[in-house]
Structure 1
Amino acid sequence: MVVPDRHATVRKYRVPKSLLRLTAVVAVVVLCLLVLGTVHYFQLLGDAAEAAALREENLQLRTELMGVQEKVAHLGATLERVERLDSKLRMLTQLNDPERNLAIGPTDSEGSAAAITGGDAARLVADVPPPLDTEGMSVDEVIELINMKLDTLSADARREETSLHELSEYFHDQKALLGAMPAIWPARGWVTSNFGMREDPFTGARRMHAGIDIAAQPGTPVHAPADGTVIYSGHEAGYGNLVIIDHGYGVQTFYGHLLESFVRAGQKVKRGDKIAAIGNTGRSTGPHLHYEVRVDGIPQKPTKFILD
């Protein structure tokens, strides 16, 4: 019923209950749709923000992966330079060992000659391989590729460690061998008798002189020409006061006619250590040092070992 005002005609309208129910249902549906739409809208906003964050994270991760790739590339270049240096050292020291596959560089004569040229020496310093080609690859694929490269580098590094250990042992032995060589003059003076056949100063007969005689004032210091161990210090007929040093590798040196000895048997000496003083003891015609070098018991010409 509708009453516009007190003087107007009263109008009546009848609304079916079914229409009311339909209207209520429509209202509820519309309300639900509005709620769902609002929820979905905010979900989309959240998903968009999350997607943006993931894109940013993915970009950052790719940037970091590029840095890792560059480090891997430089690591590979460093290892390659070490391997080339290893190869050169082996060629120079003749340490190539095909059975153990420790030599990395060329073993033929042309390769050996090319390996020590200036151009290759420049590449030894300058070579840096390009980063891994990962364009179009997913992050997981890039990580897998980097892991494979790292596994290869790890295996190469272990092999190179073994090779360098062998080189280290070789150079250690060479250092010991060089230290054992009687490479300096044992005393200051002048050589009055050389190594070889000569007339015996006492009998006049020709006989072998197994060393050299260095004349000097009595008391002139005698120095060890190489590292070694004193195996004798005492008096010996003919030699007079005598010192014998074993340098290893079959090398021994003898010092005769000494005024006095400053070392004892079993004592370690270094090249340049003062071991005795020149004298005139034993079968001698005047103050001098009789100096011998023996290799495996065989007298050698002492001057062929002297470098200074």
Structure 2
Amino acid sequence: MKRFLALGLLALCLMVSIVACQGGGERIVIGSKNFTEQIILGEILAQQIERKTNIKVDRKFNLGGTFVCLTGIQKGELDIYPEYTGTAYGAILKLGAESDPKKVLETVQGRFERDFQLLWTKPFGFNNSFAMVIRGDDARKLNLQTLSQAANYTPKWRAGFGPEFLNREDGFPGLAKAYNLKLVSQPKVMDLGLLYRSLQAKEVDIVAGSTTDGLLSTLDLTILKDDKRYFPPYEAAAVVRRETYQKHPELREVLDQLGGLISDKTMQELNYRVDGKKEDVKQVVQEFLKSK
């Protein structure tokens, strides 16, 4: 009887071992919000971990907005997700608008660890902030590089904005005050997907886009420098559960290797390949990481 029991236990152990080899072992879950750039960043994090460690990664991308991901990581349903410092500072911590990137980063790092037991990686290197964009021809003809310079010409310009930018705290009302911007008429409110098309068609002369919009890498458009640093910084980085780092200490160095790796221009190009050219996100990310 004892012999049969021992053999049974041995068989059970072998089965558990086989299952572990086939699909068990250490796993972490990476989430993302529901837009292209977030899915790309989530895939970069996943492939970086798979390339550099033996940890298996489950992907839960396209989940929804900021608070869906925040709730998921607080509940332990996610281990990591990409976030932006300005979103964390203003929307999550409700601290208003702040233009100093260093202050914003240090504040969100400290408060996230204290309040949520969440840690930030080194920023990836790009800033997904608002961008005031004009035609390249106009920028060259008028020798315009900054918003302060453009303010001399905006009284003759028409503007196109998304609904959010027209009304939000860090949007047009504050921008107009900071730069004394005047326009020939009330800004046109339009769908975000139409902004650059309308600018090219000369239906408007200045639009509010994003510094990492994919189309900016392909069109003859110019981002005006925010020389008064009005817009809050939205530096991208990964947010990680403290327990996940404690369980997998090797992750800290692996994820920090992504620090400073992605410029605004690079993020524009990655967004365009996935969003504009409809390339497979896994292939795009694989090629990007190999190139680095």
| TM-score above 0.5 | no
The structure with more helix, counted as a fraction of residues: 2
The structure with more strand, counted as a fraction of residues: 1
Q: Who wins on radius of gyration, i.e. which is larger?
A: 1
Superposition TM-score, scaled by structure 1 size: 0.20
